[in-house]
C-alpha cells in the first residue's frame, strides 16, 4: 500500500456526544488534506456535504451508539443521511437481540437498511460485548443481509479492535477495525490481520506515521 492508498483506508472520525460543527469542520479539513475519509455524526451530514473542503467520502452512523433504535427508525435515519449527502453508513446492530438468539431479527433489520439506501453499509457488531459464537452469528447476519462490511466497535463500549477479532470477522466480510487504533503501527497490525479500513479519531497521527 502506498501512502495515498493507506490514507484512503482511514476513516478520520469525530463522534463524541459533545461534538460541535467546529469539531466536524476540523475533521473534514484534515481528512481532505491527508486524503482520508471522514466519519461524522448524522446531524452534521448536510452541512458537511455542502462544505467547500469536504473529503471525497463522508460516512455517518445509524442507530448509534447502542443499536437499540426501532428498526424503522434506523431505516429512516439511514435514508435521511443518504439524502443529506452521506456516502457510507455505519450501522449498529441490536446487541441485545443477538444475545437473545434473535439472529433473524438482527439480519432483517440490517437488510431493511441495506435495501433502503444505494450506498455501502458497514455493520458495527460491538465485538467487546460478544463471545466468539456471538461474533460469528453477528457476521452471518450481516452476510445474510447483504451488508458491505463489518466493523468491530463504536468506541463506546470497553475495548476496541483486536487482532483475533479482525481475523475472525474477515472470514465473513471486509472489516473496518475501529476502537483503540491510534498509530501507524497499530493500524498496520490491523491491516495485517485482515482489515481493509481503519476507523480512528487519530487519523492525522496514523497517516503522519507512514514511513517516508
Catalytic machinery residues: 90, 151, 176
Q: Is the Cβ–Cβ distance between 200 and 187 less than 8 Å?
A: yes
According to DSSP, residue 172 is labeled: T
Q: What is the DSSP string of 80-136?
A: HHHHHT-SEEEEE--HHHHHTT-HHHHHHHHHHHHHH-SS-EEEE--GGG--HHHHH
Q: Give dist(CA 64, CA 156) in Å, integer.
A: 9
Q: Which residues on neighbouring strands pair with residue 89, listed in sequence order? A: 60, 121
**C-alpha distances in Å from residue 77, one per residue of 51, 62, 71, 114:** 21, 6, 10, 12
**C-alpha distances in Å from residue 2, one per residue of 6, 202, 210:** 6, 19, 9
Phi, psi of 137 (to 5 degrees): -65, -35
- Residue 6 half-sphere exposure toward CB, CA atoms < 13 A: 21
Amino acid at each position: 500500500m502506498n501512502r495515498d492508498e493507506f490514507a484512503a483506508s482511514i476513516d478520520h472520525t469525530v463522534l463524541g456526544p459533545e461534538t460541535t460543527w467546529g469539531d466536524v469542520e476540523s475533521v473534514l479539513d484534515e481528512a481532505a488534506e491527508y486524503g482520508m475519509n471522514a466519519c461524522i455524526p448524522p446531524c452534521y451530514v448536510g452541512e458537511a456535504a455542502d462544505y467547500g473542503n469536504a473529503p471525497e467520502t463522508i460516512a455517518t452512523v445509524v442507530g448509534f451508539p447502542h443499536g437499540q433504535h426501532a428498526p424503522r427508525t434506523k431505516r429512516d435515519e439511514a435514508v435521511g443521511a443518504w439524502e443529506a449527502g452521506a456516502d457510507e453508513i455505519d450501522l449498529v446492530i441490536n446487541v441485545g437481540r443477538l444475545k437473545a438468539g434473535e439472529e433473524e431479527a438482527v439480519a432483517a433489520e440490517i437488510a431493511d437498511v441495506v435495501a433502503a439506501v444505494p450506498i455501502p453499509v458497514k455493520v458495527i457488531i460491538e465485538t467487546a460485548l460478544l463471545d466468539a459464537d456471538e461474533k460469528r452469528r453477528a457476521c452471518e447476519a450481516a452476510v445474510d443481509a447483504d451488508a458491505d462490511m463489518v466493523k468491530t466497535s463504536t468506541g463506546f463500549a470497553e475495548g476496541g479492535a483486536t487482532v483475533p477479532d479482525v481475523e475472525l470477522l474477515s472470514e465473513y466480510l471486509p472489516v473496518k477495525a475501529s476502537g483503540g487504533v491510534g498509530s501507524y503501527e497499530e493500524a498496520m497490525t490491523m491491516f495485517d490481520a485482515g482489515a481493509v479500513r481503519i476507523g480512528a479519531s487519530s487519523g492525522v497521527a496514523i497517516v503522519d506515521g507512514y514511513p517516508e
